[in-house]
Structure formats: structure tokens, C-alpha cells
Amino acid sequence: MKHKGLGIDIIEIDRIKRIITQYQDKFLHRIFTNEEIAYCQKKSCPFPHYAARFAAKEAVAKALGVGIGKHLSFLDIEVCHTSKGQPEIILSSKAKEHFPTMYFLLSLSHCQKYAIASVMVS
């Protein structure tokens, strides 16, 4: 069966900042991979980057039509970059069992207050 979908998510950066400040590593390691944490922590202000990745994970789940839950966790979705800097989605081996041939197009953006992600899957 060939799946096609579109997902979009927007989040307030301050919301992610509050959660990270309150729960620190407990939250970070429940939502983000070690590579994502390392990438965001290199930034002078990591919160917009965390927020964009959170939005991307939600957008992926929406595009796949399953949400975060039984077949997909936050840690099953990793946002990384190609050698040219383009953001891309990598699924864990567990998630690939349910979505074996998915191809993702990802766009991320943020401003002072919001981060947004748009995902197209085919």
C-alpha cells in the first residue's frame, strides 16, 4: 500500500523553553535523539531549534496518519541535515517496520515566537 500525506505543526518557542527549563534532561531524552540534542545545544539559543524539531516530529506523525503512539514515538523520528544543510527525516528501524518505503520532504522555519514544520510523505 502506498501512503501519501501532508502534515504541518506550529508551536510556541516559549512553551518548549518552559518545558525544557522545568524538566531538563528528562524531557530532552524522551523527545529528542542524542544527535538532535547535540545539534541544538551547539546553537547560541537552542530553543527555536528544539521547537522546530518538535514541530517536525508532530508533522511527520500527522502526515503518516497515525499520530504519536502505538506505531511511532518521538524518538522514532529524527531530524537531521543533508551535507548541503537541507533538513531531513530519518525513521528508526522500529518505525521503518511499519513505514518501510516512506520518503519525506521537510521544511522548518522559526521566528521570535513560533516554530513551524511542514512534511510531505510519499
Active site residues: 62, 110
Q: How many CB atoms lie within 10 A of CB 15?
A: 14
Q: Residue 107: what are its φ and ψ, rounded to 5°?
A: -130, 130
Strand 104-110 to 114-121 pairing: antiparallel
On whether the CB atoms of residues 81 and 53 are closer than 8 A, the answer is no
C-alpha radius of gyration, the chain, whole number: 14
Query: How many residues are there in the chain?
Result: 122
Give the position of cell 500500500.
1
Cα gap 41→98, rounded to integer Å: 31
